[in-house]
A and B are shown apart, each in its own frame.
Chain A
């Protein structure tokens, strides 16, 4: 067990000025003159009333959580015991449970899904809108003030709280907190002291908070399975369909599943004092998390940290509210996604990139091919679909990427005839690898920009010097085109793991350098709708061996 010894103290207060205000006790089914303790799934919760007068009554819910209970459900906690073995057998799954790093963080003090769970446990009747003593009061909107002193508003700050609560009729006051007054340059904390004021039915208010707490926190402390989608449909039935931020709510509530992150890799991050999720895993992590479906057969792989691309959802990749009716399937649906969230028409560009690559390989008459840096294996799937490719090697340095590929391809139920054509190889392009030698063709699609420039000669040597495919196809972003992406800040790159992005001249210079060192000829071009001045969004080079 690895948990910081932090006792939690999470607070939420509900006040009303309805007359008599003490009726709040009836609505909440908790007596205003008593302090009560409840055991909830999230730990012990206390309800007491700091104020209880005719004019104004305030109920307080205070979580008093022992760190031991906090650890439950975290990655690396007991749920992971026994490890798991994916299609690749060896791997990080062998790591034993409970030793993953856990830094001290703000969760014990901040209102997160823990509070939501406690809320649902303590006020379940009130949330259902049931009150035999005051049925009229329970059915109508009453003046309410709800304060959550430490409400995480990840990826949007107070404005996010306003975007989520204002459409529901709340006046939102969100007071930011400096991370550390000693170091003003650190900026403000993600959590805000939030007060919601409005005239709302109490049951709705509690339900909204129940749903929106984890949305604001953008991460749940427990495993997100398909039943979570059912829960969202159930709880949000009255108000979510009309909410302008319903896409964001659905996506975040169902938590970008972090999949099967390699725990060994995560541990390495802690060695360097890097927050775990600052290590990108797989070549296109944003894509991976949006794409992968939760697998109920693998409990315990819970996302505890925020995924990489948590903000600025794109219209085409996020589930729409219309799908909420079938939200249960949403959780397991595979959404077409792009290489990067910020491309304007992501699916089409990624798809046309794959088509271009496939076209080159087919035209080259390649039969034995490798996708070097296969990511989650979309191209591999398309290669396998074409029997003219007699041998397909999916190569990635990320064990997790290969697991995703194996999953995408449904390796376990793949017909033997197809399976025989496929090899999954964990390897690195900065090392030579005899398993990759002598192929008809190799693909480096959106890979080189993930390497630090000083390592590119090693990649060139490994691929062109040692593996020596007859044909090599390289694709990489055209940085000149970036200005066409509205969502991309000036000078920003398309992916946070990109170490560089090249202009057409830079790419051509690099390719030319390759042909001067290795016996290859090259041609370069672009993929995607080209801008007359800026070129195509993706650059592509074909190298052919001459010797």
Chain B
């Protein structure tokens, strides 16, 4: 074996070799057949980490040595490797890989998944390999094959680094192979062990004064050199500063900023990620040819005045800056221009490019600045991403990402985000150092409007033999004639001449003269502190179909991982899209509730005794029994005023809250779809031109106003430090909401019974009078008539006429959450606390708000149980629906985790509405007793857990999609097949 080869990376070998490889990488073993790759892989890696070409050959061809199967085998190998790398798992490819072509495809695979490719070469003497192969009967290779492979290897060995391998380890003898060991190294970006707390500082751009001020305000102590220049800073509590990059260029004191930041990094009190300006500065300092922009010129000039040693220091510092950092066990990512989730902790040229420049589309906007794809709007990752690069007057959270560049050098301010507190600290710029190319106040008009390039058509385009594919469109006269009917719409000219339309070519861009103004107008004042919001859904609130569709799993803090089936999601999608309120209002949907185990007491299906016993078995003793109102379930989101509604829930129409049903529909539907009259006022873009608020709103708003007054009177806003609150409630009467159902189903049944059964009784009585034996039938028909009357009496209890709000009552029984700047849930409060709040509201507006009667029952106390049963009997005898039994403590845990939040015990007469007038007939009751409750209980529990999760996420200010996925899941679960009578 020749010895002329040298290891391109390692020095001469002294002692056993330690091969350093990154924790996440693609290891490519290189060596001729028989060089010991598989043994090496077995020794140093887990079996599942190693993908061998031999094994894959076996998978596809039942023969590990079937060379004809090699292309298919490598397809399989690449596929599996791709899946592993996508999941961030170290992967080792055990194949000869002696040909550059084979290696190139693996390097490409690594890059595709943004992991580093590493080569480990097993360069053992050819004769050893020949000998080893000779010992293996399954390898009928002649020495010629080995020789050819060795030749390939030799030719390729020098160029491995050039091929793209970021590390190359060459083991040059059997002994070296045997003695080598593997050591994992962390990626530069991996600071997951650093848990902070951090202060993440936006683009400084040489604004040293403001930086000093900001650090001081953040509590850092600055150290200075003899000239009084700050050389470092340290926080007494050990906080770390993280700079998002762009320390340099544009501003007045680039060297001063660098001196300070470099000192902090050296001292360990600061971290800096690379900005695009540092990147360019390095190349300029290294003497590379770069276009020297105005901003860079400032840096070069200022640094030119510094000593050479300092310049060298700066060059090294900037050269070593890392693309991004992952902190705090992966919960925090800092990158100059942001970073999508797939790139977190990854290493590749495109990751660096994204981190430095953002998701650029290659286009430039009207100001000549690069157009960026709004990656943050699509961001769905769990890690908080903090970045800079794009100045805006006011940082705004978008899907758990925040841009902290507030344009200090442009006269804005220098901002820092305190993490994990999530507080912003800012100092205003002393002056405008540089005029921005784009008005600062303008919220990135192009960002929201530019999507990635259209993907190529999916699927093969059908060839159209002979037919001219675009035959119709080729005729310009038809296009003109068609267009003549559709005159262009001009903002100032409602009725433009039709001739204009016919002159315009279709299929190409319209002539500039006919162009309307596009995008939002950059008309905002420079000093405008309020960032203009585009009408319609803000970018942060945009929901994507992939947030809800397909089979999904949702992690809930109280109920574990909950599955949503695809078909249920589809059903929910239709209801959510076509009937529900704006998702920003939907922070909760109430769960379904199960009855207690079915009783065996004669004449009954449900009885409180079973509920008490069930909770006792779960280890819950203190129970609250609340009367069930037999209205319709409603959730009320109430804001203190329209400004709060606009700021927190994105309401643009002046509404101050919502009242919605169990499926998120407006509780008070539109009285009749109004054909809105043209309003004089110019409507907002995308807004209906109706002058009135959305139909039905007025009744809801009237109820909200009354409730707001009651909350005000009760002093709850201040007591709870809240600007908005969410109530779980029942709205009565049942007929107000379910009127159509009652008349069409229940009343119709009663009415039909009232005519059909007496007529049948008359006929039977007459026949009996003739001596015909119809006694049986007569008896059954009489019972039927009595049951039908009882049925009618049952539903009548829950019906009374209403007119507007007159006659309508609401019984809130739980204050789910409140919020001001931050939110709080009250789901773990004692139910007596909730009911006391409800009582105070009822006292404030007794006409509208109904209290919820309740008693306390101890599940272990027979007297208390008897009192509870009696209470239920009295309630239902008076026509009441029944009661709900809940653990008094609210969120209650038993031995097997969370227990049911409540069970409903319905009255015997009420159940006629559910099970039919004749359900009390003994033969029917017996059949009904076999009803299964398992699914209902499971459903109730899962919906409860999702509802809690939605509330928790909402009050924590999590992105809309995180709240929406829970709410949507509740709706989806509601479409699961469960006996609806339970």
Contact = CB atoms under 8 A, between A and B. Distances in A.
B980 A270 contact: yes
Nearest to B683: A509
B662 A465 contact: no
Interface string B946-962: 00000000000000000
Interface stretch (A5-13, A218-226, A241-249, A317-325): A5-13
A268 interface: yes
B475 to A, nearest CB: 9
A304 to B, nearest CB: 13
Interface in B524-576: 534-537, 542-549, 565-568, 570-576
B690 to A, nearest CB: 6
B737 interface: yes
Contact of A110 (B514, B515, B752, B977): B752
Interface residues of B, number: 159
Contact of B759 (A149, A418, A542): A149
A405 interface: no
A523 B504 CA distance: 11
Given A5-B918, A60-B763, A267-B975, A109 B753 contact: yes
A271 B663 contact: yes
Contacts of A429: 577
B791 A104 contact: yes
Interface string B710-754: 000000000000000000000000100110110111111111111
Given A179-B748, A499-B670, A35 B918 contact: no
A96 B917 CA distance: 27
A450 B574 CA distance: 12
Contacts of A362: 470, 472-473
Nearest to A505: B678
B137 interface: no
B582 interface: yes
Q: Which of B751, B781, B791 has the most CB of A within 10 A?
A: B751
Interface in A229-274: 262-265, 267-268, 270-274
B411 interface: no
Interface string A1-24: 011111101110100000000000
Interface stretch (B123-131, B764-772, B819-827): B764-772
Contacts of A423: 458-459
Interface stretch (A136-144, A198-206, A391-399): A391-399
A431 B673 CA distance: 24
B458 A431 contact: no
A13 B762 CA distance: 11
B542 A149 contact: no
B584 to A, nearest CB: 10
A509 B494 CA distance: 9
B464 interface: yes
B461 A5 contact: no
Nearest to A457: B536
A23 to B, nearest CB: 17
Interface in B787-805: 788, 791-792, 796, 799, 801
Nearest to A508: B489
Contacts of A435: 545
Interface in B473-500: 473, 478-479, 482-483, 485-489, 491, 494
A427 interface: yes
Contact of A387 (B469, B482, B663, B689): B469
B665 A272 contact: yes
Given A7-B918, A67-B924, A399-B571, A189 B751 contact: yes
A390 B457 contact: yes
Interface stretch (A160-168, A308-316, A335-343, A510-518): A510-518
A289 interface: no
A178 interface: yes
A148 B99 CA distance: 92
A494 to B, nearest CB: 10
Contact of A177 (B494, B754, B919): B754
A295 interface: no
A415 B914 CA distance: 50
Nearest to A496: B673
A149 B756 contact: yes
Given A271-B974, A399-B571, A513 B686 contact: yes
A149 B912 CA distance: 24
B747 A454 contact: no
Contact of B535 (A4, A511, A517): A517
A105 B763 CA distance: 24
Interface stretch (A49-57, A119-127, A207-215, A374-382): A49-57
A387 B469 CA distance: 6
Interface stretch (B105-113, B215-223, B444-452, B616-624): B444-452
A437 interface: yes
Contact of A5 (B506, B788, B921, B977): B921
A332 interface: no
B977 A95 contact: yes
B47 to A, nearest CB: 37
B193 to A, nearest CB: 36
B486 A454 contact: no
B396 interface: no
Contact of B980 (A99, A104, A512): A99
Given A262-B574, A452-B694, A517-B685, 7 more contacts: A91-B570, A106-B752, A267-B976, A418-B462, A461-B537, A461-B542, A510-B689
Q: 3 tightest A-B contacts by CB?
A: A438-B454, A457-B536, A4-B916
18 contacts: A6-B917, A33-B770, A35-B777, A48-B764, A62-B764, A92-B571, A109-B757, A180-B796, A185-B801, A356-B482, A438-B453, A438-B455, A458-B536, A465-B449, A508-B489, A519-B449, A523-B487, A544-B509
